[in-house]
């Protein structure tokens, strides 16, 4: 029996065009959780990240700074700030190309995962907003509802790939037929863990590696708001729902049969 196929998407600069954690600096400032100087440092870090990407030293500094900053914060308060900020802070920066690929993978029966070094309190609600339930993300240690300043799991470099392999073993996912998308050379282990790696908006080192390995390279250039992508939402009538379900079933059946005859390659 063949295993399930999956598609693993890095988050920052792959699904969204900026750093998800740094983008939340201003909402945390408005909530009184960071100082003005910390806000300005966050804005500077965002500019550096967009211009130069992430490397080992920058990621280490970002991780240590975030841990020191969040020590003592209430998890409930963090989750509420993130929930309220998603539409204004993150929605405008979602890549339409990524959303289209996610929809296509799901239509072809693949499980979709968001894989990010950002905290799960940021990654999970953001993923849920685009219809993705499964995530691999950094987990902070929490005691009595507050962050201790330590980590339980850091989803970075080889740890991402290890988490993917463990997930594949536990849930019957065939990594050799699965896909992974990322922009950064730091995600080389994640990309090497699957049979179909794709470099998205790659930094210089990853672009060079992708060219050497013959990996596909894609450039996403169209950030879009979800409400622009789906401008109107009206509650459909029961009859409309029945028709839509029938049409969807027919389309998915056609896609599935066609995929079995000649496997589609959405990368």
Convert the pLDDT of each residue in 176-199 to its tens digit. 999 999 999 999 999 999 999 999
CA atoms within 13 A on the CB side of 237: 3
Whose structure tokens read 């966050």?
42
Q: What is the model's pLDDT at position 88? A: 72
Q: What is the model's pLDDT at position 201? A: 95
- Residue 203 domain-assigned (yes or no): yes
Q: What is the model's pLDDT at position 246? A: 46
Q: Is 144 a catalytic residue?
A: no
Same domain assignment for residues 42 and 83: yes
Q: Is 88 a catalytic residue?
A: no
Domain residues for the domain of 266 are 236-267
Q: What angle do CA 52, 188, 159 make, to 5 degrees?
A: 105
The catalytically annotated residue of 10, 91, 187, 203 is: 10
Number of domains the chain is built from: 2
Same domain assignment for residues 105 and 176: yes
Same domain assignment for residues 256 and 176: no
162 in the Ramachandran plot: left (φ > 0), alpha (ψ -120 to 50) or beta?
A: alpha
- Residue 1 domain-assigned (yes or no): no
Element (H, E) at 110: none
- Residue 31 domain-assigned (yes or no): yes
The catalytically annotated residue of 12, 91, 183, 187 is: 12
Q: What is the model's pLDDT at position 3? A: 87
Whose structure tokens read 């998205």?
200
Same domain assignment for residues 134 and 197: yes
Whose structure tokens read 């509802």?
145
Q: What is the model's pLDDT at position 235? A: 40
Distance CA 176, CA 192 (A): 10
Q: What is the model's pLDDT at position 75? A: 80
Beta bridge partners of 113: 8, 134
Same domain assignment for residues 192 and 218: yes
Same domain assignment for residues 166 and 248: no
- Residue 222 domain-assigned (yes or no): yes
What's the pLDDT tens digit per position in 6-30? Answer: 999 999 999 998 777 655 666 555 6
- Residue 141 domain-assigned (yes or no): yes
The CATH number covering residue 10 comes to 3.40.50.1000
Q: What is the model's pLDDT at position 44? A: 41
- Residue 253 domain-assigned (yes or no): yes
Q: Which residues of the chain have pLDDT under 70?
A: 1, 21-70, 89-92, 226-265
Same domain assignment for residues 66 and 129: yes
pTM check: above 0.85: no
């Amino acid at each position: 029996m063949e295993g399930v196929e999956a598609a693993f998407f890095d988050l920052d600069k792959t699904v969204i065009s900026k750093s998800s954690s740094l983008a939340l600096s201003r909402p945390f400032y408005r909530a009184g959780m960071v100082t003005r100087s910390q806000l300005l440092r966050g804005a500077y870090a965002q500019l550096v990240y967009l211009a130069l990407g992430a490397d080992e030293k920058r990621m280490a500094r970002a991780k240590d700074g975030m841990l020191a900053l969040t020590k003592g914060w209430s998890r409930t308060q963090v989750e509420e700030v993130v929930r309220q900020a998603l539409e204004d802070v993150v929605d405008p920066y979602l890549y339409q190309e990524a959303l289209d690929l996610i929809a296509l993978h799901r239509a072809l029966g693949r499980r979709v995962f968001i894989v990010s070094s950002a905290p799960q309190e940021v990654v999970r609600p953001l993923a849920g907003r685009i219809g993705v339930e499964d995530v691999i993300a950094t987990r902070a240690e929490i005691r009595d509802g507050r962050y201790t300043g330590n980590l339980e799991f850091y989803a970075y470099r080889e740890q991402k790939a290890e988490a993917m392999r463990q997930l594949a073993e536990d849930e019957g996912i065939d990594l050799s037929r699965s896909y992974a998308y990322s922009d950064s050379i730091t995600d080389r282990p994640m990309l090497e863990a699957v049979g179909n790696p794709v470099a998205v908006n790659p930094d210089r080192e990853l672009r060079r590696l992708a060219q050497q390995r013959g990996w596909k390279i894609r450039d996403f250039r169209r950030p879009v708001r979800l409400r622009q992508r789906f401008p109107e939402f009206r509650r459909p009538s029961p009859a409309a729902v029945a028709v839509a379900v029938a049409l969807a079933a027919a389309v998915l059946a056609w896609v599935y049969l066609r995929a079995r005859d000649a496997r589609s390659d959405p990368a």
